[in-house]
């Protein structure tokens, strides 16, 4: 997943359960990685003809992503990859593409053009196949960690674990409560500087933050982050420094934190008001915050540059 992962579980089955959860995460990575030769996503992105067969997990992720894509009016767009790649975020060879290059690439980013071509009967393990236009590329980087997180939690629970803390590259999940019976304390980083901006007391929750304070490059005194606006083909530039989503599903939290960062604060708050099935913490570039009512706040610190 291109990021460190840690799982801390409590109870007598912990070591075995962690091993199983780790294997499941690696399995998912093998299916959805954009860079791993042979993954479903790699085969789709390099295909010369369609449809391309995919596994059940990839289908699940595709369906979920399509749902959030629609719900967020395209703010979450797993087909934005050709643009992300052109800016150098896959290789670290960063560059600012020309307007012409961006407009040409944007034509290849219509996620609604990715279609389920059929459900295959045999041979297992492929369960379905997807079609898209040549030149289109998918990337589940905005929600894959959330999916892997939920799968790891499912495996831990099945192995009898009732208390655990998972960290998948900053996507936090707390399973159950701490072994002393109290809630977990989860800190949200100050996106403008050092330390923690907020801390929450939570149990059985994902806490996922998106922002552009960790993965970005600078050119000509300007900062370009790794989350893109599918309408412009450019890194998101708005008043937000970070967006944190808290809910029971790691997948939903991961997908939404990215999408609401793209949407900006007004639309993010509107989305929260329309759904209210998650907790939301917005931290603005000027250091102010907007917290959804009911967010399980433990403490709030002032954030400064």
Binding site for ligand ADP (CB under 6 A): 76-78, 80, 84, 89, 139, 141-142, 169-170, 210, 215, 226-228, 230, 254, 258, 262
Nearer to ligand ADP by Cβ, of 161 and 197: the residue is 197
Q: CB 137 → Mg ion: shortest distance, Å?
A: 18
Which region, judged by CB under 5 A, interacts with Mg ion, from 110-118, 235-243, 247-255, 293-301?
247-255
Q: CB 142 → ligand ADP: shortest distance, Å?
A: 3
CB 145 within 8 Å of CB 171? yes
Closest by CA to 299, choosing from 210, 196, 203, 173, is 196
* Residue 190 in the binding site for Mg ion (CB under 5 A): no
Residue 106, phi-psi category: left (phi > 0), alpha (psi -120 to 50), beta (remainder): alpha
At residue 279, φ and ψ (nearest 5 deg) are -95, 150
CB neighbour list of residue 174: distance below 8 Å, 6 or more residues apart = 164, 165, 166, 184, 186, 202, 203, 204, 205, 207
Nearer to ligand ADP by Cβ, of 142 and 163: the residue is 142
Nearer to ligand ADP by Cβ, of 11 and 169: the residue is 169
Residue 224, SS3 per DSSP: strand
215 binds, among ligand ADP, Mg ion, none (CB under 5 to 8 A by kind): ligand ADP
Tokens of 200: 């929450």
Q: CB 84 → ligand ADP: shortest distance, Å?
A: 5
What is the contact mask toward Mg ion in residues 126 to 155, using x (rule: CB under 5 A)? ----------------x-------------
At residue 250, φ and ψ (nearest 5 deg) are -65, -35
Residues found near Mg ion in the complex (CB under 5 A): 142, 254, 257-258
């Amino acid at each position: 997943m291109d990021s460190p992962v840690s799982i801390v579980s409590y109870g007598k089955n912990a070591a075995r359960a962690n091993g199983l959860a780790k294997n499941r995460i690696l399995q998912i990575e093998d299916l959805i990685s954009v860079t791993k030769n042979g993954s479903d996503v790699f085969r789709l992105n390099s295909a010369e003809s369609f449809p391309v067969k995919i596994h059940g997990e990839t289908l699940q992720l595709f369906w979920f992503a399509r749902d959030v894509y629609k719900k967020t009016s395209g703010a979450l767009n797993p087909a934005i990859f050709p643009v992300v790649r052109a800016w150098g975020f896959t290789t670290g060879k960063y560059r600012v593409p020309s307007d012409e290059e961006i407009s040409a690439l944007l034509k290849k980013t219509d996620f609604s053009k990715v279609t389920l071509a059929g459900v295959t009967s045999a041979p297992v393990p492929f369960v379905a196949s997807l079609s898209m236009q040549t030149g289109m590329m998918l990337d589940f980087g905005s929600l894959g960690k959330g999916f892997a997180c939920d799968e790891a939690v499912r495996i831990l629970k099945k192995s009898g674990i009732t208390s655990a803390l998972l960290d998948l590259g900053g996507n936090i999940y707390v399973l159950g409560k701490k072994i002393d019976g109290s809630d977990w304390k989860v800190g949200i980083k100050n996106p403008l500087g050092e330390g923690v901006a907020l801390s929450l007391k939570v149990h059985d929750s994902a806490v996922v933050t998106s922002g552009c304070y960790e993965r970005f490059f600078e050119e000509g005194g300007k900062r370009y982050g790794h989350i893109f606006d599918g309408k412009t083909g450019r890194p998101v530039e708005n008043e937000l420094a970070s967006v944190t989503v808290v809910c029971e599903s790691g997948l939903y939290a991961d997908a939404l934190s990215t999408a609401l960062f793209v949407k900006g604060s007004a639309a993010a708050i509107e989305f929260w008001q329309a759904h209210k099935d998650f907790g939301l913490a917005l931290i603005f570039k000027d250091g102010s915050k907007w917290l959804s009512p009911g967010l399980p706040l433990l403490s709030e610190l002032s954030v400064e540059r």
